[in-house]
Amino acid sequence: MSDSGAAAPAYISPLAKIGDDVGIGIGVIVHDGAVVGDGCVLQDGCVIGKPAALSDRSTVKASVFTPAVIGAGAKVCAGAIVFAGATIGERTVIGDRAIVRERVSVGDESLIGAGAIVENDTTIGSRVKIQTLVNVTAHVTIEDEVFVGPGVLMANDNTAGRAPEVPNVGPTLRHGCRIGVGAVLLPEIEIGSGAFVAAGSVVTASVGPGMLAMGAPAREIRAITDS
């Protein structure tokens, strides 16, 4: 660890690994084992490597401790929380008050917007833009270069908690698809590569590659002919 300019009263665990030229704001907490790459920025009040605290009735599996990993050049903004077991790619931005849960992987040069929540066991690719106040539920796959507009909601449980033995399966968002503001994506559906879901739509069935879908429930309207 070189001189990274930690501002009191930040707490950096002696068991954390902090790279060179890391900017550390006031009130930052970095837990045991966390790895922060060179050139990262940790803004005021963010928490890196928070252990998950699960209720006795939670259907989420407790995991063996693994460290949080923040890739080189990433920025974790004010008040954001990155759980233990999450991996954040290089030059990715985690916005103010965003939460990234355990066993989440976010690729390089992506954005998790302010107040967004990414639940456990989710994979997000590179150059993905997830905007403000999006709720990415657990067990979601988002491929590279996807855009998710503000306020989008995703679900992963068709039984609404009535059948805990049934595995939760969230939506799959294929390469380059776009989700408009305030859309709702229900469990197990797939949004095809290059597809566009219009604002406010409720997606109850999969949308094919390159298709425009809109409505509640959403219907495929036409193929997208523009870029």
Answer yes or no: are the C-beta atoms of 127 and 111 closer than 8 Å: no
- Quote the pLDDT of residue 164: 83
Q: What single-letter amino acid sits at 133?
A: L
The residue assigned the tokens 């270069």 is: 145
Q: Which of 41, 38, 33 shows the shortest CA–CA distance to 17? A: 33
* CATH code assigned to 128-227: 2.160.10.10
The residue assigned the tokens 């990715």 is: 92
- Quote the pLDDT of residue 159: 85
- Quote the pLDDT of residue 105: 98
pLDDT truncated to tens, each residue of the chain (227 aa)?
A: 444 555 558 999 999 999 999 999 999 999 999 999 999 999 999 999 999 887 666 655 655 568 999 999 999 999 999 999 999 999 999 999 999 999 999 999 999 999 999 999 999 999 999 999 999 999 999 999 999 999 999 999 988 888 887 889 999 999 999 999 999 999 999 999 999 999 999 999 999 999 999 999 999 999 998 75
Bridge partners (DSSP) listed for residue 153? 135, 184
- Quote the pLDDT of residue 1: 42
CA–CA gap between residue 140 and residue 86 (Å, rounded): 14
Size (the chain), residues: 227
Answer yes or no: are the C-beta atoms of 94 and 112 closer than 8 Å: yes
The residue assigned the tokens 């002919």 is: 225
Q: Where do the structural domains in the chain lie, given as residue ranges?
A: 128-227
- Quote the pLDDT of residue 21: 97
CA–CA gap between residue 224 and residue 176 (Å, rounded): 13
CA–CA gap between residue 140 and residue 124 (Å, rounded): 8
Residues 6+ apart with CB under 8 A from 77: 43, 46, 93, 94, 95, 96, 98, 114
- Quote the pLDDT of residue 166: 87
Q: How many CB atoms lie within 10 A of CB 180?
A: 19
- Quote the pLDDT of residue 63: 58
CA–CA gap between residue 56 and residue 76 (Å, rounded): 30
Residues 6+ apart with CB under 8 A from 139: 120, 121, 122, 156, 167, 168, 169, 170
CA–CA gap between residue 217 and residue 134 (Å, rounded): 20
Burial of 27: CB neighbours in 10 Å, binned 0-12, 13-18, 19+ = middle
